Structure 1
Amino acid sequence: MKSLVVAGVMSGTSADGVDVAICRISPALAAGGTPRIKLLGHLGVAYPKTLRAAVLAAMDADAISVAELARLNWRLGEMYAEVVARAQEKFGVKVGLVGCHGQTVYHQGAAEKYLGRPTRATWQMGEASVIAERLRVPVVSDFRPADLAAGGQGAPLVPILDYCMFRSAKVSRVLLNLGGIGNMTAIPAESGLDGLIAFDTGPANMVIDACMKRLYECEFDRRGAVARTGRVLQDIVQKILKEEYFSALPPKSCGREQFGEMFVSRFIAMCRKAGTQDEDVIATATALSAASIAQAYRRFVWGHVGQAAPLSPVEFVVAGGGTKNALLMSLLTAELEAMGAKVRLMEELGVPSQAKEAVAFALLAWLSWNGLPGNVPAATGATRALVLGKVTHG
């Protein structure tokens, strides 16, 4: 094993663009240690409007042509290659490896019967051959299927980064990412990898953004300004929190299949039935995101970090685009601090919020390139730790 400069490429469920993290990743200094990760630079680039529209249409499509999907796969490959090339130029480095998560257009982590057999399925688009050819470096892509094949959910995959970079001997840490979906990793103080717990909490930005698009023709609620003018329908929030996904035990994962257009239509209809204004819908969606995360922490994590290290403080470290929503952050902070957690931003630990998931896929690519497992079975539910991804040589 040797040190490599790796580009991690991430496109999240919000489908707002591409994040590239350029990292230097080196082997552990001692046996039993974890890889050393240094972030050299981060570049975020928004999708062109037409490309974002195509991605969102593919995610929620009841019917779409095979030709459209094939073309989108190749177009995304070109986009990813272009952004990595721009990041190389900006930071004055040449990468030796790329780890590309791709754009999820379908994710079904739990087995459902299909053509007579229980089946799991996931699909992340973005043609790796295009990236490898444009950049002339190997690309590791398609990380999730190996975990699914071993009985896992295929998500979350970021916990391996959380453990390598952010575990602590002195404090218990809960790492929360506020993307389209919220995902949480809890690492008790002095814990090994087997003591980690991680799962998707439900919607973070996804429902808020979709309601803003429908009601205001805006991509998102900047700093929570619209939600601040509305009233929260607590009865609707509490009713939704009793639904199956929120009460299901981890490991669990979700996406637009659970909280996409069908859910949003039902959610808006529930609000309309209660006689709301548009701003009340946004306020209620924001409250739902905060309450679902707080409930997940209370039910599944609080006892875990407290019992494992009763004398250590708990730090709740938040990353992702949702950190820019001041109202969402204030609601979350109030709930979590009431349970004794200290809320911090990811930047305080040296990693920009928007870069974190891209850094994770740089690490996962490095692990795969060196034949090392990248999933955490305690988080995904897989039967074993596995080397993830498929390699395309440049």
Structure 2
Amino acid sequence: MTKPKSMIVAGVMSGTSADGVDVALCKIRPSPAENGPPRVSLIGAAGFHYPKALRNAVLAAMDAKAMAVADMSRLHWRLGEVYADAVAGAAEQFGVKVDLVGCHGQTVYHQGSASKYLGGDVRCTWQLGEASVIAERLRIPVVSDFRPADLAAGGQGAPLVPMLDYCMFRSDKVSRVLQNLGGIANMTAIPAGGAVGDVLAFDSGPANMVIDACMARLFGKGFDHGGVVARRGVAIRRVVDRLLRERYFLAAPPKSCGREEFGDAFVDRFLATCRKAGATEADVVATATALTAASILEAYRMFVRRHLERKASAQDVEYVVAGGGAQNATLMTMLRAGLEPMGVRVRAMDELGIPAQAKEAVAFALLAWLTWSGLRGNIPSATGARRPVVLGKVTRG
């Protein structure tokens, strides 16, 4: 698009938990070294909750069997207004003038693997939030719709955050696994001293999604604050072990998932299995939490540890955790109990200078800057794409 230059970029992220909007204001500069990664500095981050009615509409769209086209269109445009308000609010809060917006949008459907449809093999993805509304309201360019270019190149369209992980957190001294605990659990493994082509990244399964759904159905609450309910219960290990034998957990990367795999239908089945095993309501939440932890640990053992041992120039491993699930003390205790005996040090993303909740928004600020600069943003070793591509669509303000 243009020669890379220093810009203030607002990254906007709405995750699969559908609880609101995260905005990260970043200063992004070209590297002083030829072909080096850009430099990303976080100016500030802000979160904005969806009103209850809007969140309900988003959740209905995600699991809709038959939602009116008119309502989908209205939601798409309403979210554009919500995102514009969020960027304007964050810019005012931190006293900055934004040059560019990178808006991921709200995913309502994502199918990273091809399936037959009307005589052809189709991969597809759909993120809501009309970029033209944001661009007109703020009178600045907006980059949106990041995933389709990677899908068109044969990739899963996810995960895209690994580009940020590589640019900001690569180390010559230690291997790092960057673990995000949003609705879905995704991890990026960067071998010590590794090149961008050595990055391994994928979605391991649910993080908060199943836990939150169980809390909503059983306790009328949006999430298990601090993991208190899970701590009262007893995880039913035979239920967890049975679920871990399902196809998604055993599949090798590249792979990505969402509500299509772990939404209402999965939760219905999960609850029925727990009840058949005699679980109390607290036991159900404990079992959902144990499923998240066990699926992450199994993914590390099956896919990540071997990759790091083969690719890394040094064997020390740091496991850096971000996302809302990092606030769930019971989940974090389970993860530490599994990782630390393998010699893995668990750290919080905040220790590396990025608030845990803001990381994905920072990633889409970076991806927007790359797109505006005409630079490629996907990592084929993470998404499975045939080649690196420039991501996103530009709407000029």
- SS of the aligned residue for 2:122 comes to strand
Shift of 1:17: 0.4
Q: Is 2:288 the counterpart of 1:285?
A: yes
- Residues 347-376 of structure 1, C-alpha deviations (whole Å, 9 max, x = no match): 000000011000000000000001000000
Q: Which residue of 1 aligns with 2:272?
A: 269
Contact 2:180–2:187 (Cα < 8 Å) also in 1? yes
Shift of 1:116: 1.2
- Aligned counterpart for 2:125 among listed residues 119, 122, 127: 122
- Aligned counterpart for 1:5 among listed residues 3, 8, 32: 8
Shift of 1:83: 0.5
The share of aligned pairs that are identical, in percent, is 68
Distance 2:345 2:229 in 1: 27
Q: Is 2:385 the counterpart of 1:385?
A: no
- Aligned counterpart for 1:186 among listed residues 178, 186, 189: 189
Q: Which residue of 2 aligns with 1:94?
A: 97
Q: Is 2:292 the counterpart of 1:313?
A: no
Contact 2:187–2:204 (Cα < 8 Å) also in 1? yes
Distance 1:86 1:311 in 2: 44
- SS of the aligned residue for 1:301 comes to helix
**Distance change >3 Å, CA 260–CA 309, structure 1 → 2:** same
Q: Where in structure 1 do 4 or more consecutive aligned residues deviate above 4 Å? A: none
Q: What CA RMSD, in Å, does the superposition of the two structures yield over aligned residues?
A: 0.7
Q: Is 2:356 the counterpart of 1:353?
A: yes
- Residues 146-200 of structure 1, C-alpha deviations (whole Å, 9 max, x = no match): 1011110000000000000000010000000000000000000000001110000
Q: Is 2:376 the counterpart of 1:373?
A: yes
Contact 2:193–2:313 (Cα < 8 Å) also in 1? no
- Letter matched to residue 371 of structure 2: S
- Letter matched to residue 248 of structure 1: A
Shift of 1:310: 6.3
- Residues 12-68 of structure 1, C-alpha deviations (whole Å, 9 max, x = no match): 000010000000000011112100001000001111111000000000000100000
Unaligned runs of 5+ in 1: none
Contact 2:192–2:314 (Cα < 8 Å) also in 1? no
Shift of 1:306: 2.1
Count of matched residue positions in the alignment of Structure 1 and Structure 2: 394
- Letter matched to residue 262 of structure 2: F
Provide the TM-score with structure 2 as the length reference.
0.98
Q: Is 2:306 the counterpart of 1:299?
A: no
Distance 2:155 2:243 in 1: 26
Q: How does 1:1-394 map to 2 (within 5 A)?
A: 1-309=4-312, 311-394=314-397
Distance 1:3 1:178 in 2: 30
Shift of 1:231: 1.1
Distance 1:114 1:171 in 2: 45
Distance 2:309 2:328 in 1: 29
Shift of 1:305: 1.1
Unaligned runs of 5+ in 2: none
Distance 1:69 1:32 in 2: 42
- Residues 237-291 of structure 1, C-alpha deviations (whole Å, 9 max, x = no match): 0000010000101000000000000000000000111111111110100000000
- Residues 291-348 of structure 1, C-alpha deviations (whole Å, 9 max, x = no match): 0000000000011112323643100000000011000000001101111100000000
- SS of the aligned residue for 2:371 comes to helix
